């Protein structure tokens, strides 16, 4: 299943390490049976669906370019989310991650510069267009009728942080200092929906102030302290592996509930964040119980 070279390395390990560390990791990897729904590796994004539990894996896969967000990639993400919504089943969960050591470094500054052709006014206009376009991605995620998990596999800044916070749950690799808003360094003020999203997800005002104004790097310990990371990972944990385990747990819980409804889940999520929904132009719908349910 894993190849002879893997077993040649395993046979020299102490039995205790083999049983407690290596084999569980290998079996978790072996359970990753996904098939492609949209995109291919190297094309900017890839959407896959798990063959068993029907969870979705959306991967940003241009790590060498920072997995940055430009109009084309933003539109492709939205198309992928449309596919996820249309293919959803009762046990569906969405995981979003990045390739390699980068989750997402924010907006595509090179794209804005190339389009500007030396004009500062044009540069600002194209950057603003990306901010406006990305707002729809946040809206789509907040409205998605299933649980969502961001597996922060590596460095992320600016809009990449917002992409992560737009999910219900975050996982990170232990010890990695990978979250940084970086707006001060870019001399960029906080867009209104960024501010509303941060206030909706960061635990308390002092943490919100430090997150925005101090431009600090957040590792797993700091992220857990301000409650944007639900649990602290164990040493050696991979962000995607933790996310997959969380997805399996959520899918199992949803499967147990005969009346679990993704549309109700989405409305409950929106009700949690009234300020954010106002900025995004989202309205909450009242869904009442059905007599025959």
* pLDDT score for 235: 55
**Does residue 5 register a pLDDT over 70?**
no
Assign 257 a pLDDT band (cuts: 50, 70, 90).
Answer: confident
Q: What is the mean pLDDT of residues 282-293?
A: 81
Torsion of CA 214, 220, 222, 227, to 10 degrees: 110
Residues in CB range of 230: below 8 A, 6 or more apart? 169, 170, 224
Class of residue 262 by CB neighbours under 10 A (exposed 0-12, middle 13-18, buried 19+): middle
Q: What is the pLDDT of residues 41-100, one digit of tens each?
A: 446 889 998 877 778 999 999 988 999 999 999 999 999 999 999 999 888 999 999 988
Alpha-carbon distance of 232 to 224, in angstroms, equals: 6
* pLDDT score for 2: 30
CA neighbor of 107 nearest in space, from 207, 228, 191, 220: 191
3-state secondary structure of 1: coil
Q: What is the pLDDT of residues 214-250, one digit of tens each?
A: 877 888 888 888 888 876 655 556 889 889 999 999 9
**Quick check: 212 and 198 in contact, CB under 8 A?**
yes
CA 284 to chain centre: 23
Architecture, CATH, for domain 34-280 = Alpha-Beta Complex (3.90)
pLDDT higher at 45 or 164 = 164
* pLDDT score for 184: 78
* pLDDT score for 21: 45
CA neighbor of 281 nearest in space, from 131, 135, 160, 69: 135
**Quick check: 203 and 226 in contact, CB under 8 A?**
yes
Domain ranges of the chain: 34-280
The two tokens of residue 280 are 């995004």
């Amino acid at each position: 299943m894993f190849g002879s070279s893997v077993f040649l390395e395993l046979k020299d390990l102490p039995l205790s390490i083999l049983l407690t560390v290596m084999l569980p990791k290998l079996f978790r990897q072996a359970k990753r049976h996904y098939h492609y729904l949209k995109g291919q590796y190297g094309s900017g994004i890839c959407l896959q669906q798990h063959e068993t539990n029907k969870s979705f894996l959306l991967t940003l896969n241009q790590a060498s370019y920072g997995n940055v967000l430009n109009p084309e990639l933003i539109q492709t993400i939205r198309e992928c989310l449309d596919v996820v919504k249309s293919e959803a089943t009762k046990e569906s969960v969405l995981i979003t991650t990045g390739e390699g050591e980068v989750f997402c470094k924010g907006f595509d500054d090179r794209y804005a510069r190339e389009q500007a052709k030396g004009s500062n006014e044009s540069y600002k206009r194209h950057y603003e267009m990306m901010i406006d376009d990305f707002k729809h991605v946040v809206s789509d995620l907040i409205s998605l009728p299933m649980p969502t998990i961001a597996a922060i596999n590596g460095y992320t800044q600016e809009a990449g942080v917002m992409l992560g916070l737009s999910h219900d749950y975050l996982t990170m690799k232990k010890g990695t200092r990978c979250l940084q808003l970086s707006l001060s360094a870019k001399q960029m003020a906080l867009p209104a929906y960024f501010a509303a999203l941060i206030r909706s997800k960061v635990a308390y005002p002092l943490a919100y102030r430090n997150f925005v104004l101090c431009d600090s790097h957040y590792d797993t310990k700091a992220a857990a302290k301000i409650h944007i990371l639900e649990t602290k990972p164990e040493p050696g944990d991979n962000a995607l592996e933790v996310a997959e385990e969380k997805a399996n747990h959520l899918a199992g819980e949803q499967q147990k509930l005969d009346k679990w409804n993704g549309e109700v889940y989405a409305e409950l999520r929106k009700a949690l964040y009234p300020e954010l929904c106002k900025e995004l132009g989202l309205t909450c719908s009242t869904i009442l119980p059905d007599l025959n349910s």
